[in-house]
Chains A and B, each alone.
Chain A
Amino acid sequence: MRVLAALSGGVDSAVAAARVLDAGHDVVGVHMALSRSRAQLRSGSRGCCSIEDAGDARRAADRLGIPFYVWDLSERFEDTVVADFLAEYAAGRTPNPCVRCNEHVKFATLLDKALALGFDAVCTGHYARIVASDDGTRELHRAADPDKDQSYVLAVMGPQRLARAMFPLGDVASKAATRAEAAARGLSIAAKPDSYDICFVADGDTRGFLRDRLGARPGEIVDTAGRVVGQHDGAYQYTVGQRRGLALGRPAADGRPRYVLAIEPVANRVVVGPADELAVSSLVADAPVWFGAPPVAGARVQAQVRAHGVPVPVVVGRADDEALQVTLAEGAALRGLAAGQSVVLYDGTRVLGQATVSRTAAVARRAEVPA
């Protein structure tokens, strides 16, 4: 097969490309230029946006002896991932830009372009497994190493795109094993630090980035009774479940720490309260993507709501092409879930589907009960 290996400049994608090459495929390396300000020579610790990362990707391709190109997808990235990130925060929601990048850029623009140019598949360094099921369809499963598993951010791609994807690192025992393999292959990036945070927020200061791009919008921080307990300069800078950085002048009456319970974008208010009010009993999510038939009502499955979150047992209320509704199983606990987050349903290691949280119902707080 002709395989396009997306090379970020990191160790994972380089080893993934090497494995596909070993398997006898015809491999071409492509580095996606995603940043508008790629003139920066940045330490390679934040992913795929700097000249250094592009150079590392090129050197990996050199070492593997495969052709290498840089494709400028920065406009697409800006128009979808960055714009969505800003719009979601402005609307008081909590987006996951990595999910949107996989949805709109990597397994959309890049994959479509690759297929149109004659490639059969796109290979990335994500940690997830693709398993052929009994009926010949392909299933997305968690990686062998649960610590590195990235099926959560990949689930959004759905079954059609999965059919054109290759994740050669799904069965690697650990990141250390990937690094060891990179070193054994003579890849100079074997010891390069992992990427973390959000790749387009150069210095890791997400609040500063949002303030720069959305502008200051001062408003009030209130408690659940509506009493003003502090000020903010942009409600979009807060995330449900957040505790640090609230800078509240007056301590809570009961002395307990306070958390962000809700963002009210229209009123430009941030609601804070005690931890127990963060507990969620059920959720509704939009725009579901299913791998195979959706689970039936009453099915007992697991839901994960964060990239490195612990899956919690849930009972399916509704699962179809329009919406997903689940209720936490008895004894299960989930705290600080915000609209905009991605929810992925699992049956053991198998990904069932993905959707974007639109509403939640709290255990302790007065709130609309999801339909």
Chain B
Amino acid sequence: MTVYLDHAATTPVLPAAAQALADALAHVGNPSSLHASGRAARRTVEESRERLAASLGARPSEVVLTSGGTEADNLAVEGLFRARRAADPRRRRVLVSAVEHHAVLDPAAWLAAHEGAEVVLLPVDSDGVLDLDAVRRELAGHGDEVALVSVMWANNEVGALQPVAEVVEAAHAWGIPVHADAVQALGQVPVDFEASGLDAMTVTAHKVGGPVGIGALLARRELALEPVLHGGGQERGVRSGTLSAPLAAAFAVAAEAAVADRASFAARVAALRDRLVAGVLGSVPGATLRGPGDPALRLPANAHLTFAGCEGDSLLYLLDAAGVEASTGSACQAGVPEPSHVLLAMGVPQDDARGALRFSFGHTSSDADVDRVLEVLPGAVERARAAGLTAVHA
């Protein structure tokens, strides 16, 4: 039987969400059409939007539906930068944490290469937590030149929760909008857009039991945002493209369930995670937990470990062959595990960073999963060590 411990990559769709998707797929109607079928589809979208907003602590008008987290992050970074710079040409600096997902880092780098942005990578400590003093120093020095700040709510690789409230407070003192990628945080820690003070926030369906293909950028009503996708003017004119009533319906069901079950889910996966971490540290020599050691400071479903002297792709192969599905970090396009920019930003040596494994739990995880990992991991690490760091040495 397969042990699936890669829920941070994507998690199984909840039966209720799959049902909502299937039900809505049975109906024709473009939500922008004015006839009865269109109105019915539009009603599904708007009811879904209201349910999403209620689950996320936002107003319905603040929910901009997108194709997923990456698009929402791109819209936040590029859309905010362009709107801010148009209003005040001095504001060219983009402050992002060094451990952001590439969906934030890469649009920022693109703006630097093509539109004159200056990207400032905000440092993190050895646990992967943002250095707030560095943020304050940066604002004190260049506060009137900053277009936006983007700091993720929780890191997708090492699970470190970030001091989003403090960042918001510091940035707002300079009138700077703050965006947070909350893709991993939703459903694991309390996420309330209004209470957070954030100006924009990214969420996506497939990390919380909804389908791949839909996400949202929550954006305050007064927030100036230039569109990235141009066309029919849907979603406040910020995100054109035909709205998907089925995906929206399934997203709403999944998000509602994730938020409603959050406390019990978090307690359950944290217990599994803690047992896994304790078991691995106790049975595998050279294993190191990465990210905050205090469970309260990291995502409850996340365990991230490095194994000195191993290469991640060797570990991944050996575990996969034993039916254990984990990740070397975050899934990547080429299928080649590279040393993680997150671990490197935390000061983890390059060779240690190569031997990284992320185990992430979800709603289908069980004690049997942990048992199986603890059964096969020690042998896999031993064997991977024998195979060595071939790409570097040999």
Contact = CB atoms under 8 A, between A and B. Distances in A.
A33 B390 contact: no
A117 interface: yes
B333 to A, nearest CB: 8
B321 interface: yes
Contact of B314 (A74, A75, A117): A117
Contact of B394 (A33, A51, A112): A112
Interface string B303-345: 0000000000110111011000000000001111110000000
Given A113-B314, A116-B383, A116-B388, A70 B334 contact: yes
Interface residues of A, number: 24
Given A67-B320, A69-B313, A117-B384, A109 B335 contact: no
The binding surface of chain A is classed by DSSP as mixed
A69 B321 CA distance: 11
B26 interface: no
A186 interface: no
Contacts of A67: 317, 320-321
A69 B335 contact: yes
A118 B383 contact: yes
B392 A33 contact: no
Nearest to B387: A116
A113 B316 CA distance: 14
A345 to B, nearest CB: 29
Contacts of B387: 112-113, 116-117
A38 interface: yes
B368 interface: no
Contacts, number: 63
Nearest to B388: A116
Contacts of A51: 333-334
Contacts of A116: 383, 386-388
Contact of A109 (B318, B320, B336, B394): B394
Contact of B335 (A28, A70, A112, A113): A70
A76 B394 CA distance: 8
A113 B334 contact: no
A73 B388 contact: no
B391 interface: yes
A38 B335 CA distance: 11
Interface string A344-370: 000000000000000000000000000
A31 B337 CA distance: 13
A60 B168 CA distance: 50
A112 B334 contact: no
Contacts of B394: 76, 108-109, 112
A195 to B, nearest CB: 19
Interface in A53-84: 54, 58, 67, 69-76
Given A54-B334, A72-B338, A112 B390 contact: yes
Contacts of B336: 33, 38, 70-72
Contacts of A113: 314, 387-388, 390
A75 B391 contact: yes
A69 B316 CA distance: 9
A42 to B, nearest CB: 13
Contacts of A117: 314, 317-318, 383-384, 387
B317 A69 contact: yes
A108 B394 CA distance: 9
A117 B314 CA distance: 7
Contact of B391 (A54, A73, A112): A73
Interface in B331-368: 333-338
A296 to B, nearest CB: 36
B218 to A, nearest CB: 32
Interface string B95-117: 00000000000000000000000
A73 B394 CA distance: 11
Nearest to A2: B321
Contacts of B383: 116-118
Contacts of A54: 334-335
B390 A73 contact: yes
A362 B319 CA distance: 58
Contacts of B335: 31, 54, 58, 69-70
A114 to B, nearest CB: 8
Nearest to B335: A70
B2 to A, nearest CB: 13
A20 to B, nearest CB: 17
A237 B335 CA distance: 36
Contacts of B388: 113, 116
Nearest to B380: A117
Nearest to A77: B391
Contacts of B390: 73, 76, 109, 112-113
Interface in B210-255: none
Nearest to A71: B313
Nearest to B314: A117
A109 B383 CA distance: 16
Nearest to A76: B391
A54 B338 CA distance: 16
Nearest to A80: B394
A72 B316 contact: no
A363 to B, nearest CB: 43
A70 B336 CA distance: 6
Contacts of A70: 313, 334-336
A260 B386 CA distance: 48
A67 B387 CA distance: 19
Contacts of A118: 318, 383
Interface string A139-175: 0000000000000000000000000000000000000
B334 A33 contact: yes
Nearest to B313: A71
Contacts of A112: 387, 390, 394
A164 to B, nearest CB: 15
A74 B392 CA distance: 9
A44 to B, nearest CB: 15
Nearest to A70: B335
Contacts of A71: 313, 336, 391
Given A113-B390, A117-B384, 16 more contacts: A38-B336, A54-B334, A67-B317, A67-B320, A69-B313, A70-B335, A70-B336, A72-B336, A72-B391, A108-B394, A109-B391, A109-B394, A113-B314, A117-B317, A118-B318, A118-B383
Closest 7 CB pairs of A and B: A116-B387, A70-B335, A116-B386, A72-B336, A113-B390, A113-B387, A33-B336
Interface of B: 313-314, 316-318, 320-321, 333-338, 383-384, 386-388, 390-392, 394
7 contacts: A33-B334, A51-B333, A58-B335, A73-B391, A76-B390, A112-B387, A112-B390
